[in-house]
Amino acid sequence: MFGLNPVFIPGPTNIPDRLRHAMNVQTIDHRAPDFVEVFTPVLRDLKKVFRTRDGQTFIFAASGTGGWEAAITNTLSPGDKVLIARYGMFSHRWIDMCQRHGLDVQVIECEWGAGAPADRFAEILAADKRREIRAVLVTHNETATGVLSDIAAVRKAMNGAGHPAMLFVDCVSSLASMDFRMDEWEVDIAISGSQKGFMLAAGAALLAVSPKAMAAMEEARAHRCYFDMREMAAANASGGFPYTPPLNLIFGLRESLDMLLEEGLDNVYARHRRLAEGVRRAVAAWGMELVAKSPDLYSDSVSAILVPEGFDSNALTDHAYEKYHVSFGIGLGEMAGKAFRIGHLGALTDVMVLSGLATAEMAMKDLSYPIELGSGVAAAQEYYRNTPATATAKAA
C-alpha cells in the first residue's frame, strides 16, 4: 500500500535511497568535459568488480540481453560453431539468440538444477580436432534454478583440451554479488547489467572484453550497428559516447561502485553468502528442497525452492503479492508451477530477509502448505545471530 515492502525477486533489486538520489540529476551535455570527468573513472572502476586489468569495459544502454547480443555480433560470424549447455531458462535464451543470429549451436542438454558440465565441455572440445568451435558460452548464475556454475572448472577443461575457443560468461545475476574473476578464469567476454548486484534501475548492459575478443572483432562478419564495440571503444577513448548515453544510470553507477568499494568486495560477497545461507536453513526447516542438486551449486543471489507435490508455486507467488504486497520470483520454464524463487541479492540485510521469510511462511500457511509458522524464520534467526556480518569481522 505504501510501497515500503522490499522485493525478493532476483532482479531488478531494491534501490537504496543513496542510489535513487544519485540518479536524480538534471540533464547535462554529454559532450562536455564534466561528463568525461564522471564517465572515464566509471569505466576504470568497473574493472575492479570484473577483476580484470587487461579487459576493456563497456556500457551500452540496454539490459543484459543486449549485452549478450553485443558479445555475439562483435566476435562471431553467421555459421560459426559455438558450444553451450542448456540447464535453465537463461542458458536457453542465449541458445535461442545464437540460433537467430545464424550460428551453428552445439547444445549439451542438462537436467535443470545441474550446473555447467565442465567434463562434457572437455570431451567435445578435445574431439574438435579441426578447432571449429569458436566460443564456449556459460551462464555463471542460472537465475531460474538458483545454480552457480564453476567457471574456473570450465576454463580448466578448455585449457586441458588445448582448445583456442573464446569463453563468454553471463554474470548478470552474479557480478557484484558473488566472486567473479575475469582474468584468473581467462574469460573473454563477461556480461552483466545494472539492475541486480549494482542495485540500480534496469537499462545499462555492462561488459568486460579481453584483448583476444577485441582482436576477434576484425574478422567477425555478423551485422552490428548500435552494439558495435569498435565505435564504442573509439568514443570511450576520449571519454565520450558514440550516441546519447544513459546519463542517469551512469551517475547511479558511479555511486554504486563507490558503495561496493567502500563496503569492500570481499565483504559484499560474504554478506550475500550469509543472507543466502539463512534462506537455505529456512527452506530446510520448512521441509522443502532447493532446485540446485547439491550444495556446491547453491547460488548466493537467488534460491529456487521446490514446492510440495500437489501445490502450485505460481499460485503461491500470486497470493503473496495480492495479500501481503510482497514479490517473490515465479517459476520459469521447466520450473513453472513447481518452484518459487527468493532473491537475496543487492541492497538487503538480514532483517529484511527475515521479513521476506516471514511473509513466505504466511502465504504458504494461507494455502495450507504443510509448514509450521515461524519454523523457517527461527532457523534463519539462529544462523544470523551466530555468524559475523562481514568477511572482515570473520577474519578478526
Band of residue 396 on the pLDDT scale cut at 50, 70, 90: very low
CATH number, span 17-261? 3.40.640.10
Alpha-carbon separation of residue 165 from 80, 135, 161 (angstroms): 11, 5, 10
Report d(CA 396, CA 388) in Å as an integer.
10
Read off the pLDDT of residues 320-352 as tens digits, 9 standing for 90 and up: 999 999 999 999 999 999 999 999 999 999 999
* CATH H superfamily, domain 265-395: Aspartate Aminotransferase, domain 1 (3.90.1150.10)
> 360: Cβ–Cβ under 8 A, 6 or more apart, which residues?
320, 328, 340, 342, 376
Which residue, chain included where needed, has cell 552474479? 174
Give the number of residues written for the chain: 396
| Whole-number pLDDT of residue 3 | 78
| Whole-number pLDDT of residue 394 | 57
Sequence ranges of the domains in the chain: 17-261, 265-395
Query: Mean pLDDT for the chain?
Result: 96
pTM of the predicted model as reported, rounded to 2 decimal places: 0.96
HEC assignment per residue over 124-172: HHHHCCCCCEEEEEEECEECCCCEECCHHHHHHHHHHCCCCCEEEEECC
Band of residue 2 on the pLDDT scale cut at 50, 70, 90: low
Is the separation of the CB atoms in 49 and 107 below 8 Å? Answer: no
Q: Is 63 helix (H, G, I), strand (E, B) or coil?
A: coil
Read off the pLDDT of residues 44-101 as tens digits, 9 standing for 90 and up: 999 999 999 999 999 999 999 999 999 999 999 999 999 999 999 999 999 999 999 9
Alpha-carbon dihedral sign for residues 372, 374, 380, 382: negative
Read off the pLDDT of residues 266-312 as tens digits, 9 standing for 90 and up: 999 999 999 999 999 999 999 999 999 999 999 999 999 999 999 99
Report d(CA 214, CA 198) in Å as an integer.
25
Report d(CA 325, CA 279) in Å as an integer.
20
Amino acid at 364: M
Q: Find, among 306, 290, 288, the residue nearest to 298 by Cα.
A: 290
Alpha-carbon separation of residue 128 from 122, 123, 132, 139 (angstroms): 10, 9, 7, 22
